[in-house]
Structure 1
Amino acid sequence: MHRPPHAAAGFRPDIQGLRAVAVLAVVIYHAGVSLVPGGYSGVDVFFVISGFLITSHLLSTLRDHGTIRLSDFYARRIRRILPAALTVLVLTALASVLLVPRVDVPGTLEDAAATALYMPNLLFAAQGTDYLAETSPSPFQHYWSLGIEEQFYLLWPAVLLGTFFLVRRSNRRLAAVIAALVAASFASGLVLLEVSPPWAFFSLPSRAWELGVGALAALALRHAAGRLSTAVGRVLIWSGLAGMLTGFVLLTSTTPFPGVAALLPTLSTAAVILGGSAAPHPALLTNRPMQAMGKWSYSLYLVHWPLLTIPQLAVGVEHPLPLAGTLALGALSVPLAILLHRYVEGPFRRGPARGNIRRTGPTLAMATAGSLVIAGSAYGAGLYIDRTPATAAQPAERKAGLPYPEGTPFVPSNVTPVLERAATSAPPTNGDGCHAPVKQTEPQAHCIYGNREATQDVVLFGDSHAEQWFAGVDRLARDNAMRLRTLTKASCPAVSISIERQGAPYTECDQWREGALQTIREVKPRLVVLGNYGRVTPVDDSKDLRKQWEEGLRATIDALPEGTEVVVMADTPFHDSAPASCLSRNIDDAAACDAEPEEALNASRAAVERRVAEETGARFLDMNKYLCAEHCPAIIGDILAYRDAHHLSEPMGEALAPRLAAELDKEL
């Protein structure tokens, strides 16, 4: 064992070992090893270490010089962080252009531009990215944590300097202020976790408390250096290591995170850091392999993610790489990290400008210029690629809407929507406020279409799989001089079943559904059309989903007003991934992106829905004969049938509108 240093400052081999633990946990988790489902919390370990080291350095500067030279501090951070980060950024962007599916390249380059401007975390939060469940992640997604650290580094020296003088250089008062900031940040994370999980995960205000815990550890060691006994130090070290490893094993992708769960890796890391100031450092952290891995940890964190994601995106997320392949890629990231550390990270950090304040200005200027050039180039290239549709040279005829369709064997030059716009090809209710968002609990009473002066109503009720039939139901309403009321909500089926969303009970769905049913009972419509996405996770996992689905559908139909006709729409085909991404890799072989009916359609659930409809006097309407024959084509005629893995595109909904309206008209 190594003896501990006598102060917070100076090289700490145990912290170098903690870096190794953290990066190995992250890499193994990203490689898909199921034994460490909580390996993502290694990033939280990094946050605490960063907060501790930066605050220790700044406190030493304040003690020695009475102030903090902000420009010098920023220049040092730039030389430490940016050369390696920007090198990997540029190489990742080039590899993405060459290997990532064509339709995904503009979005990937947008991520690259945000990364170059030090705010990828804000972009991912705005996009609603689910880091723990993302099946088609950005090659730049791992930069989110660097974005948080860079934003923290930008603000923290000024905050610490101002607070230091505000509390008249009192360590006790300084600790109290920082503790209050940590508590406020933690509370904001808890609130955001309920309101907007992506912002809770990716934003600085909700994650700053983890760096703040490291700052409190630095203050504690400065104020109480030498007061911890060796015995207490040992307890802190080993309990902290046990807590970290417990988090790696017990936390999962369904754990609401950050929040209370993030206390485990965060406080455990702080315990190891505090204990290491008093007790001998364990060989588990200080042996040569762990010290080397800790030295390379930053470079390893940078290179491992694009090395894992770009090959997966290149072959298609519908074809997951085997575990042996991802482990090989994870192992390959180690020698690449060694090269990055030796030839980029290390030389810039140890360069001749180190400690030379006269070089601060050029360092800041070069960093700013380099970031702007990279961001502008990535964004401009993305715009150029986005405006050059990926299609074959020949057009196709309009064939959608015919039964048992044959797919178009290529991506036609007149395809609609174009592959690059597929994801936004949704019904008008998706953009006019009439498709309730996740957090909404009250039904949207103002959403009326068709003949607003009519005396009879038709209601479209359910989730986004009901919304995709809007064009056909709207056509029915207009043809029959009826009002159309839409009651649809994101990820919330009309079926009366309590489900989970992002690992937590989706209570907003239950409340909204009850309100929607009450609205329908008050309106007493002539016809209600139900549409539902059946691949849900029930809150009650003790009962079979099909049984719960059957009971829930029956309860919903029974809750509708007497005399109202009910149509239950069969669910549409499910693809393993968004066809647009696959098609951009197979422009001349679109059939490679078709789905097989036995996999794309859930026959057992359809049988349950058909039986419930028959027993309750409703009608079960299956429109899938217009979408599938021997295969379920991605492109039918000149129409891209799907906007993502399981939603019809708006043009396909329009093409099926006459057929759907004619079928629904039989119920009037």
Structure 2
Amino acid sequence: MIKEQGEGKSRYMPGLDGLRAISVLAVIAYHMNVSWAPGGLLGVAVFFTLSGYLITDQLVAQWQTAKRIDFAGFWMRRIRRLMPAMFVMLAVVGAWLLLFDPERLASLQGDFVSVSLYFNNWWLIFHQVSYFESFGPPSPLGHLWSIAIEEQFYLIWPILLTVLLRFTKQRGKLMMFILLGAAASTVAMAMIYVPGSDPSRVYYGTDTRAFALLIGAALAVAWPSRSLSAAISDKSRLVFDILGGAGLLAIVWLIWKTNEYDSLLYNGGLALFSVLTAVVTAVLAHPASRVAKAMGCRPLRWIGVRSYSLYLWHFPVIILMNPSGIADDVHAGRALVQIALSLLLAALSWTCIEEPIRRGFRSPFREKIQGWSPFQYRNKRAVSALALMLFLISGYSSLNADRPADPSPAIIDTSSNGQEGTTLPVTDPGIPAVVIPEAPIPMEPQPKSEESSKPATNAGITAIGDSVLLDAAPHLEKLLPGIMIDGKVGRQMYQALDVVDQLKAEGKLGDRIVIELGTNGAFSSKQLRELLSSLQDARKIVLINTRVPRKWQDTVNSTLEEVANEYANTEIMDWYSASKNKQTYFADDGVHLKREGAESYAFLLSKTLQGG
């Protein structure tokens, strides 16, 4: 935290900047789809808890000094600290899109407006935009939902805290009221979350994420930074260091081991993680902590001080520099350039925008900003221009480097929330949208006239799936006459049990069952077990694993493999391995099947069903 004038008796705590650095690096690793940081999204939870602590610490200090909170002054400082850097980033991204991708810019008008007015998280919820399960190129502003939550907190919390402070004189009662609010938010997340479904609603919601901010706020009441003294016993210092070190290791371990589809996260896990973050924050805020001194080392402090600007810039850089327009195809060389450019832009933002405005332009530009800064005043304009040109040129060339000469339309699953879909976007904005029927498509065989006398030898096969199954359906009908295919665009695993129950009721469920689901998102082992248990009378069940260049691919395939081994009548059709390095099988999205891929898919399934 950088001390700001008029915000109470605050002091600089370098250890917290070190924690900020680890958090923003975890978020960057997550957005770059680095395999060893599937839980990098937890970095945002750390930021929330830190913000709740630091802001409440400042406000309570101001109340104790003046018996009032200066709302206008607080909000103005927040505006000066946060808005200028964000609006510069928005202007640069908007200019880039205007020059090189105006169609995409037009489609992102709602993003720009909602980000500018700090209600982006609710805009995403109301428009059912998934944070985790998206096929089209994501918005380069898709990470700013969290900034909206923080701004909403900054707007509302000083007023609520004033009411609490006015009517609650005891620290214990004040903490109790704050923690009750945190508990209500935790319960709201658990109640709204549907296991196995896309968790974006509870991930985005101010109501379902407030617990992290409030846990930090409760810590500020119990552990005010201005009251902490370095004069403590060696035994107490050792306890602090053990707690802080173990807590930091636990945070890193959870970033390594957790993923966004773990249902425990949304059933109290994120709240417990916030408590863990609060413990670490308490240690790092203490002036006697040796862990705090280690976390306040110069490299971590440099990144932590600029963590806000680094958070602003990294995602647009990643998205706009990736040829596919998504962040799921990791390329080491490009990733290094993206990281370096993000750091450069963050340093420029801090040095040229944030720090001068925060100080009211009272400091000379030649003054070195806290920590190391390589930018002298005479070079700032040149470096800024060079950075912007590098951003534009590298992004534009990367975007066009691998673009096919003759793109073809790709049907894309977008209704991952189970909503009925009609018109679906395509990968290239210049290609007309593809219209898909809304209802499930039961496909009854239509044998050719010369084959009309042949018996339907595969009438006992029922295939349930999504649009990938629909891609292969014509070829499956030729190889397996009599097969009944129930496919629906955007279908997910949690919907499969209802489909099975309906087919049973209609007498259309065969004794050989094919399940092709996972294209549109992950699911829990419990859901898959429930589905397979409902099919225990089936002679044979074939689960088809998935090839989808998205974060949930490996989670889906490992879950299928794990659960299939528990059921004697179940086996895996390994489409993931069979399609490896077969780019000609797939449309531009890397998921849906061209004719060659559909024929190979149908042949492999036919062979699997027949036991070959």
Could you say which TM-score interval applies, normalised by the shorter chain? 0.5 to 0.7
Q: Measured at CA, do residues 461 and 154 of structure 1 come closer, stay the same or move farther in structure 2, by a change above 3 Å?
A: farther
Match runs of 1:336-415 below 5 Å: 336-351=345-360
Q: Measured at CA, do residues 224 and 489 of structure 1 come closer, stay the same or move farther in structure 2, by a change above 3 Å?
A: farther
Q: Measured at CA, do residues 119 and 417 of structure 1 come closer, stay the same or move farther in structure 2, by a change above 3 Å?
A: closer
Match runs of 1:242-641 below 5 Å: 242-256=249-263, 257-263=265-271, 265-276=273-284, 277=286, 279-282=288-291, 283-312=293-322, 314=323, 316-317=325-326, 320=329, 322-351=331-360, 420=429, 425-429=434-438, 462-465=464-467, 491-492=490-491, 506=493, 508-521=494-507, 536=546, 537=556, 539-542=559-562, 574-577=586-589, 597-598=595-596, 600-601=597-598, 603=600, 605-610=601-606
1:49-97 CA deviation, whole Å, 9 max, x = no partner? 1110111111112212222232222111101110001111111122123
Q: Does 1:53 align with 2:54?
A: yes
Q: Measured at CA, do residues 29 and 11 of structure 1 come closer, stay the same or move farther in structure 2, by a change above 3 Å?
A: same
Equivalent position of 1:175 in the other structure: 175
The offset of 1:115, in angstroms, is 1.0
Q: Measured at CA, do residues 318 and 606 of structure 1 come closer, stay the same or move farther in structure 2, by a change above 3 Å?
A: farther
The offset of 1:269, in angstroms, is 2.2
The offset of 1:149, in angstroms, is 0.5
Write the letter of the residue equivalent to 2:502. A
Q: Measured at CA, do residues 163 and 344 of structure 1 come closer, stay the same or move farther in structure 2, by a change above 3 Å?
A: same
Equivalent position of 1:39 in the other structure: 40
Write the letter of the residue equivalent to 2:108. T
The offset of 1:606, in angstroms, is 1.3
Write the letter of the residue equivalent to 1:232. V
Q: Report if aligned partners of 1:303, 1:336 keep a CA contact under 8 Å in 2.
A: yes
SS of the residue 1:541 aligns to? helix
SS of the residue 1:194 aligns to? coil
The offset of 1:467, in angstroms, is 10
The offset of 1:223, in angstroms, is 11
Q: Does 1:214 align with 2:228?
A: no
Equivalent position of 2:389 in the other structure: none
2: CA distance between counterparts of 1:218 and 1:299? 25
The offset of 1:349, in angstroms, is 1.1
Match runs of 1:196-211 below 5 Å: 197-211=199-213
Write the letter of the residue equivalent to 1:575. A
1:175-212 CA deviation, whole Å, 9 max, x = no partner? 11100000111111122332761111111111111111
The offset of 1:550, in angstroms, is 7.6
Q: Measured at CA, do residues 575 and 211 of structure 1 come closer, stay the same or move farther in structure 2, by a change above 3 Å?
A: same
Q: Report if aligned partners of 2:175, 2:221 keep a CA contact under 8 Å in 1.
A: yes
Q: Report if aligned partners of 1:239, 1:268 keep a CA contact under 8 Å in 2.
A: no
1:85-140 CA deviation, whole Å, 9 max, x = no partner? 1111111122123344x653333333222211212222333344443455632100
Equivalent position of 2:541 in the other structure: none
Equivalent position of 2:184 in the other structure: 184
The offset of 1:280, in angstroms, is 2.2
The offset of 1:488, in angstroms, is 6.3
Match runs of 1:145-156 below 5 Å: 145-156=146-157
SS of the residue 2:11 aligns to? coil
The offset of 1:423, in angstroms, is 8.9
Q: Report if aligned partners of 2:114, 2:123 keep a CA contact under 8 Å in 1.
A: yes
Write the letter of the residue equivalent to 2:154. Y
Equivalent position of 2:194 in the other structure: 194
Q: Report if aligned partners of 1:58, 1:68 keep a CA contact under 8 Å in 2.
A: yes
SS of the residue 1:39 aligns to? coil
1:24-67 CA deviation, whole Å, 9 max, x = no partner? 22223333432323222211111111110111111112212222
The offset of 1:595, in angstroms, is 7.5
Q: Report if aligned partners of 2:90, 2:112 keep a CA contact under 8 Å in 1.
A: yes
Equivalent position of 2:244 in the other structure: 237
2: CA distance between counterparts of 1:69 and 1:238? 37
The offset of 1:542, in angstroms, is 3.6
Write the letter of the residue equivalent to 2:212. E
1: CA distance between counterparts of 2:560 and 2:515? 22
- Give the total of aligned pairs: 462
Q: Report if aligned partners of 2:469, 2:516 keep a CA contact under 8 Å in 1.
A: no
2: CA distance between counterparts of 1:230 and 1:54? 26
The offset of 1:435, in angstroms, is 5.8
Q: Measured at CA, do residues 223 and 285 of structure 1 come closer, stay the same or move farther in structure 2, by a change above 3 Å?
A: closer
2: CA distance between counterparts of 1:316 and 1:157? 40
Equivalent position of 1:115 in the other structure: 115
Q: Report if aligned partners of 1:550, 1:612 keep a CA contact under 8 Å in 2.
A: no
The offset of 1:252, in angstroms, is 2.7
1: CA distance between counterparts of 2:277 and 2:9? 15
The offset of 1:420, in angstroms, is 4.9
Q: Report if aligned partners of 1:247, 1:264 keep a CA contact under 8 Å in 2.
A: no
RMSD of aligned residue pairs (Cα, Å): 4.4
Q: Report if aligned partners of 2:10, 2:225 keep a CA contact under 8 Å in 1.
A: no
Q: Report if aligned partners of 1:190, 1:259 keep a CA contact under 8 Å in 2.
A: yes
The offset of 1:551, in angstroms, is 6.3
The offset of 1:540, in angstroms, is 4.1
The offset of 1:417, in angstroms, is 9.2
1: CA distance between counterparts of 2:226 and 2:303? 31
Structure 2 unaligned blocks of 5 or more: 1-7, 364-403, 410-423, 443-461, 475-483, 518-543, 547-555, 574-583
2: CA distance between counterparts of 1:114 and 1:56? 29
2: CA distance between counterparts of 1:15 and 1:509? 44
Write the letter of the residue equivalent to 1:178. I
SS of the residue 1:93 aligns to? helix
1:568-603 CA deviation, whole Å, 9 max, x = no partner? xxxx97424189xxxxxxxxxxxxxx98654x3362
1: CA distance between counterparts of 2:274 and 2:495? 33
1: CA distance between counterparts of 2:320 and 2:274? 31
1:438-493 CA deviation, whole Å, 9 max, x = no partner? xxxxx9xxxxxxxxxxxxxxxx9844439979xx9xxxxxxxxxxxx99766654x
Equivalent position of 1:91 in the other structure: 92
Write the letter of the residue equivalent to 1:601. A
Q: Report if aligned partners of 1:114, 1:123 keep a CA contact under 8 Å in 2.
A: yes
Write the letter of the residue equivalent to 1:70. F
Q: Report if aligned partners of 1:307, 1:329 keep a CA contact under 8 Å in 2.
A: yes
Equivalent position of 1:587 in the other structure: none
1: CA distance between counterparts of 2:408 and 2:306? 45
Structure 1 unaligned blocks of 5 or more: 1-6, 355-406, 437-442, 444-459, 473-484, 493-500, 554-571, 580-593, 616-668
TM-score, length basis structure 1 = 0.60
Write the letter of the residue equivalent to 2:191. V
